Amino acid sequence: MKKLTSTFAFLLVSAGFAFAQNEAAKKTPESSETWTPVPPIVTPGTMAANASGLTAPSDAIVLFDGKNTDEWVSVKSHVSKDWKSTNMGPLKWAVKDGAMYSTLGSYARTKREFENFQLHVEFRTPEKPEGKSQARGNSGVFLQGYYEIQVLDNYENPTYSNGQVGSVYKQAIPLANPSRKPGEWQTYDIVYQAPRFNKSGILAEPGYVTVLLNGIVVQNHTAIKGNTDYIGYPTMEPHGAGPILLQDHGNPVGFRNIWIREL
Ligand code: MG
């Protein structure tokens, strides 16, 4: 009996130790990085060098036309309590040459909130790249405030595959890497279907996202697993309509021609 008891105690302690190890592993940023497969590099079709991009179609809500930032406010971060805060000021981003730039330590948040939509965003990472991996031209487009489609200068800049430009950050590797050179304008076309939750807040149907980067499909009706956290694995927070956020990650990334069509 004594032996049995001590064996049982040993098993309990071992199980506890393994659990603690797993819990500890979840708490490092590296534990949710996936490095393979590496998305194949695809050279996108060309765009005229000085083209002003794709302006809004007649039925779109124009979120940024190159000058007017009235549709936006500044928020502290993508943590939901921050972007849901009522303490929001006018957008602090710099507007220059028809683009708005992620500077001055705040995220841009739309005043409006959306359910299902088609979103067009053009972005430009700094012409002179600084830093490497996730520290080069990093920003992001957050759908309904929760789900980041990564923006990164991934031109000849390796990083973990599930953190590349075109990833659903830390949960879905893009199908290709059609990055343009730093300083060149790039396009995102995003089709998004919001997740649905029942009255108890239980997920009834996941959200789905299809993403084209520079005209190339990088996410094809990808089911969204949950929040796109830097540390840990996705968790789902029940929610309704939400805003679009643009990330400030300390790199001056420019945005222009931002428009949305509700579906
Ligand atoms: Mg980012």
In this structure, is residue 45 part of a structural domain? no
Instruction: Examine the domain organization and report whether 148 and 185 are in the same domain.
Output: yes
In this structure, is residue 77 part of a structural domain? yes
Confidence of residue 22 (pLDDT cuts 50, 70, 90): low
Instruction: Examine the domain organization and report whether 105 and 233 are in the same domain.
Output: yes
β-strand partners of 172: 168
Instruction: Examine the domain organization and report whether 149 and 240 are in the same domain.
Output: yes
Rounded to the nearest angstrom, the distance between the alpha carbon of 36 and the centre of ligand 1 is: 19
Confidence of residue 100 (pLDDT cuts 50, 70, 90): very high
Instruction: Examine the domain organization and report whether 191 and 137 are in the same domain.
Output: yes
Rounded to the nearest angstrom, the distance between the alpha carbon of 251 and the centre of ligand 1 is: 10
Instruction: Examine the domain organization and report whether 112 and 237 are in the same domain.
Output: yes
Rounded to the nearest angstrom, the distance between the alpha carbon of 235 and the centre of ligand 1 is: 18
Rounded to the nearest angstrom, the distance between the alpha carbon of 129 and the centre of ligand 1 is: 16
Rounded to the nearest angstrom, the distance between the alpha carbon of 58 and the centre of ligand 1 is: 30
SS3 assignment, position 253: coil
pLDDT number for residue 87: 73
Rounded to the nearest angstrom, the distance between the alpha carbon of 247 and the centre of ligand 1 is: 6
Rounded to the nearest angstrom, the distance between the alpha carbon of 108 and the centre of ligand 1 is: 13
Instruction: Examine the domain organization and report whether 163 and 234 are in the same domain.
Output: yes
Rounded to the nearest angstrom, the distance between the alpha carbon of 67 and the centre of ligand 1 is: 24
Task: Calculate the CA 48 to chain-centre distance.
Answer: 27
Average pLDDT over residues 83-105: 88
Rounded to the nearest angstrom, the distance between the alpha carbon of 192 and the centre of ligand 1 is: 18
Query: Percentage of the chain surpassing pLDDT 70?
Result: 89
Rounded to the nearest angstrom, the distance between the alpha carbon of 212 and the centre of ligand 1 is: 17
Instruction: Examine the domain organization and report whether 27 and 75 are in the same domain.
Output: no
CATH number for position 120: 2.60.120.560
Rounded to the nearest angstrom, the distance between the alpha carbon of 40 and the centre of ligand 1 is: 21
In this structure, is residue 213 part of a structural domain? yes
Rounded to the nearest angstrom, the distance between the alpha carbon of 261 and the centre of ligand 1 is: 23
pLDDT number for residue 1: 47
115-142 pLDDT, tens digit per residue, is 999 999 999 999 999 999 999 999 999 9
Instruction: Examine the domain organization and report whether 21 and 106 are in the same domain.
Output: no
* Number of independent structural domains in the chain: 2
Domain housing 8? 2-32
Rounded to the nearest angstrom, the distance between the alpha carbon of 228 and the centre of ligand 1 is: 10
In this structure, is residue 44 part of a structural domain? no
pLDDT number for residue 88: 76
In this structure, is residue 50 part of a structural domain? no
Average pLDDT over residues 84-93: 85
Range among 41-55, 72-86, 249-263 with highest mean pLDDT value = 249-263
- Name the residue type at position 84: K
Rounded to the nearest angstrom, the distance between the alpha carbon of 149 and the centre of ligand 1 is: 8
In this structure, is residue 255 part of a structural domain? yes
Q: Which residue has the higher pLDDT, 85 or 115?
A: 115
pLDDT number for residue 52: 85
Q: How many CB atoms lie within 10 A of CB 13?
A: 10
Average pLDDT score, the chain = 90
pLDDT number for residue 6: 53
Average pLDDT over residues 154-183: 97
Confidence of residue 155 (pLDDT cuts 50, 70, 90): very high
Instruction: Examine the domain organization and report whether 159 and 246 are in the same domain.
Output: yes
Contact 41, 174 (CB under 8 A): no
Query: Percentage of the chain surpassing pLDDT 90?
Result: 77
194-251 pLDDT, tens digit per residue, is 999 999 999 999 999 999 999 999 999 999 999 999 988 999 999 999 999 999 998 9
List, as one string, the DSSP characters of 12-46: HHHHHHHHHHHHHHHTSGGGG----SPPPB-PPPP
Tokens encoding 258 = 């931002």
In this structure, is residue 53 part of a structural domain? no
Which position has the token pair 């067009």?
120
Instruction: Examine the domain organization and report whether 180 and 139 are in the same domain.
Output: yes
In this structure, is residue 38 part of a structural domain? no
Rounded to the nearest angstrom, the distance between the alpha carbon of 65 and the centre of ligand 1 is: 23
Give the N- to C-terminal CA distance of the chain in Å, as an integer.
Answer: 67
Q: How far apart are CA 169 and CA 225, in angstroms?
A: 11
Instruction: Examine the domain organization and report whether 87 and 133 are in the same domain.
Output: yes
Confidence of residue 26 (pLDDT cuts 50, 70, 90): low
Rounded to the nearest angstrom, the distance between the alpha carbon of 150 and the centre of ligand 1 is: 5
Tell me the whole-structure pTM to 2 decimals: 0.88
pLDDT number for residue 47: 78
Instruction: Examine the domain organization and report whether 14 and 69 are in the same domain.
Output: no
